[in-house]
């Protein structure tokens, strides 16, 4: 594996963990009013598209990264539906 | 261009516009308290990594998508620093 491949894997790793601190903050505060539901829906849609792409081009890193992001964005979507905004 | 390439471009397009509704919501409400600063910092870092990767593998779609995401995440970072949390 050369340096550029490594860079790609590092990028995929960072992209995969992007929503971890956001899920943690939302869970801790039970507050998601400032999160855009459209952002979450676009992320879910893009993950599905990337997963189909990854299976077809047989890319393990893209598959793994998007499975993690899909799980985290579904969690954010669930939080968005269940945590009530304070009045 | 085959169907799989098209899917990749569609995924890159969706990934590029992910933060547009979030930037819009933050700008409209001037409220970013529920946004994780760590999420924003990870996105900025991953964009830089992906940009270096894209230049090296000469991937136009990866370059374009990450330039857009970088601009939007820098905006969110600026909002996060300047919009005050209501007490």
CATH value at residue B64: 1.20.1280.290
Q: Do the chains contact at B8 and A46, CB–CB below 8 Å?
A: no
Q: What pLDDT is recorded for position A1?
A: 78
Domain annotation covers residue A11: yes
Choose from B2, B4, B5, B8 for mutation: most chain A CBs within 10 A.
B8
pLDDT at B68: 97
pLDDT average, residue stretch A16-21: 96
Q: Does any domain span residue B87?
A: no
Quick one: average pLDDT of B36-50? 96
Residue A7 included in any domain? yes
Contacts of B69 in chain A (CB under 8 A): none
Domains held by chain B: number = 1
Question: Is the distance from CB of B33 to CB of A85 less than 8 angstroms?
Answer: no
Residue A39 resides in a domain: yes
Nearest CA-CA distance, residue A60 and chain B, Å: 15
In a domain, A53, yes or no: yes
Show residues of chain B in contact with A25, CB under 8 Å.
34, 36, 38-39
Rounded average pLDDT over B49-71: 94
Residue that the structure tokens 């910092």 belong to? B41
Contact yes or no for B19 and A39 at CB 8 A: yes
CA-atom Rg of chain A in angstroms: 15
Q: Is A87's pLDDT higher than 60?
A: no
Counting residues of chain A whose pLDDT is more than 90, the rounded percentage is 84
Question: What pTM did the predictor assign?
Answer: 0.91
- As a whole number of angstroms, the distance between CA A66 and CA A73 comes to 10
The tens digit of pLDDT for each residue in B74-87 reads: 999 999 999 976 55
d(CA B8, CA B14): 10
In a domain, A58, yes or no: yes
A30-66 burial string, b = 16+ CB within 10 Å, else e?
A: ebbebbbeebbebbbebbebbbbbbeeeebebbbebb
How many contacts, defined by CB atoms under 8 Å, are there between A and B?
Answer: 98
Task: Say if A78 falls within a structural domain.
Answer: yes
CA distance A78 to chain B (A): 15
In a domain, A87, yes or no: no
Q: What is the DSSP string of A27-56?
A: HHH---TTS-HHHHHHHHHHHHHHHHHHHH
Q: CA B49, CA B35: separation in Å to the nearest integer?
A: 22
Counted residue by residue, chain A has a size of 87
Token pair recorded at residue B62? 């990866």
Q: For the purposes of burial, counting CB atoms within 10 Å of the CB of B44, is it exposed (0-12), middle (13-18) or buried (19 or more)?
A: middle
**Taking CB atoms and an 8 Å cutoff, what residues of chain A touch B50?**
11, 15
- Is A18 in contact with B46 (Cβ distance < 8 A)? yes
Query: Does the beta-carbon distance from B42 to A21 stay under 8 Å?
Result: yes
Domain that holds residue A75: 3-82
- Return the pLDDT at B84: 77
């Amino acid at each position: 594996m050369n340096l550029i491949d490594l860079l790609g894997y590092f990028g995929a790793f960072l992209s995969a963990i992007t929503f971890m601190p956001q899920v943690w903050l939302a869970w801790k505060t039970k507050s998601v009013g400032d999160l855009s539901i459209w952002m979450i829906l676009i992320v879910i849609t893009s993950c599905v598209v990337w997963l189909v792409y990854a299976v077809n081009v047989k890319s393990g890193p893209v598959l793994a990264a998007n499975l993690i992001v899909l799980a985290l964005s579904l969690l954010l979507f669930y939080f968005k539906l269940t945590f009530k905004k304070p009045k």
